[in-house]
Amino acid sequence: MDNLDIKILSRLLNNCRESDRQIGIELDLSGGAVHTRIQKMEEKGIIEEFFIKVEPPVLGYGVLYFVVSGESINKILEQVSLVGEPYFVVPCIGGITVCSIVVKENLKQKIELVSKLMKDVRVLSIFEAENPGFNSNLTKTDLEILEELIKDPRQKIENIAKNTNMATKTITRCIEKLQENDGIQFTLIYDPKKIDNFIPHVILTWIEGKLKETLENMNNIFSESYLQIPFIAKNQIVLFMYSDSIFKMDELTQKVRTIENVKSADLFIPKKISIYIKWLENAISDFKKSSRLHLTYQTN
């Protein structure tokens, strides 16, 4: 991979519905050249699949995050599935695995239950994700279109209209609404081990004080190193970055630690990224069966 490949990958991670032509305009390439590079990344397995990532609070669900050491993914999944649906599992270099599960209610009790179930596992951290203010207000029409987009987030509007028997204007308005929602991201899943010449990494920061101001400060300093848009969870800012050497990666991490309001910063280098959508499919199915016309969850 070269610099153009990583920049294309970054744009697709932040919005995989962005057209090849638009990406080309931003990077001074033709749409055809962008398309060819994307195809090569798919053929090489760098891009595993295009994906819609929906934050569970958008649909009224809670999220538990935990960091464990030295256990197999299958064992972890087997234990946490007794409490909630898997959301993502990311094994990292150094024997650390970052996991998340979707739960419906009683998060405090679920944390205690997870702790008991994983008593034989070395749990480094476990915490509830504080709802960061997602407003859903999704209709059954929105969810039906979302259900179609799950199959292929990049498919054309005309194709979605054909498969759902809806007007193209309805599809267009709905997609715009979904893209404006901070809790819904049109993205992709990539294989970190196949990205030659670059090291994708995550810096998990714990913030003490002004969260949004700290994020703005980070954006001003580190945006050129972002692989994806940062994510806010509770009193944390998660930075998705890339470097071309372990030394630059370490420099970035040390620099993050010097930012005002940053209490601590931990570096994670993912080996594989697994995101699960069974919970989402079930949530959409359940709501479509209900008599309600809108999801009205509002979180602060």
Q: What is the CATH number of the domain that holds 244?
A: 3.30.70.1150
Which of 87, 116, 133 finishes a domain?
A: 133
124-128, 206-210, 271-275: the lowest-pLDDT one: 124-128
Q: Which domain holds residue 103?
A: 56-133
Computed over every residue of the chain, the mean pLDDT equals: 88
Which of 133, 153, 186 finishes a domain?
A: 133
How distant is the alpha carbon of residue 152 from its chain centre? 16
Is 276 inside any structural domain?
no
Contact 214, 38 (CB under 8 A): no
pLDDT of amino acid 267: 95
Q: What is the mean pLDDT of residues 261-275?
A: 94
pLDDT of amino acid 299: 44
80 & 16 share domain: no
Q: What is the mean pLDDT of residues 257-281?
A: 94
- Does 279 score more than 90 pLDDT? yes
pTM, to two decimals? 0.88
Per-residue pLDDT tens digits for 161-190:
999 999 999 999 999 999 998 889 999 999
- Number of structural domains in the chain: 3
Q: What is the mean pLDDT of residues 256-285?
A: 93
pLDDT of amino acid 189: 96
Which of 133, 154, 182 finishes a domain?
A: 133
Per-residue pLDDT tens digits for 134-143:
667 788 899 9
34 & 72 share domain: no
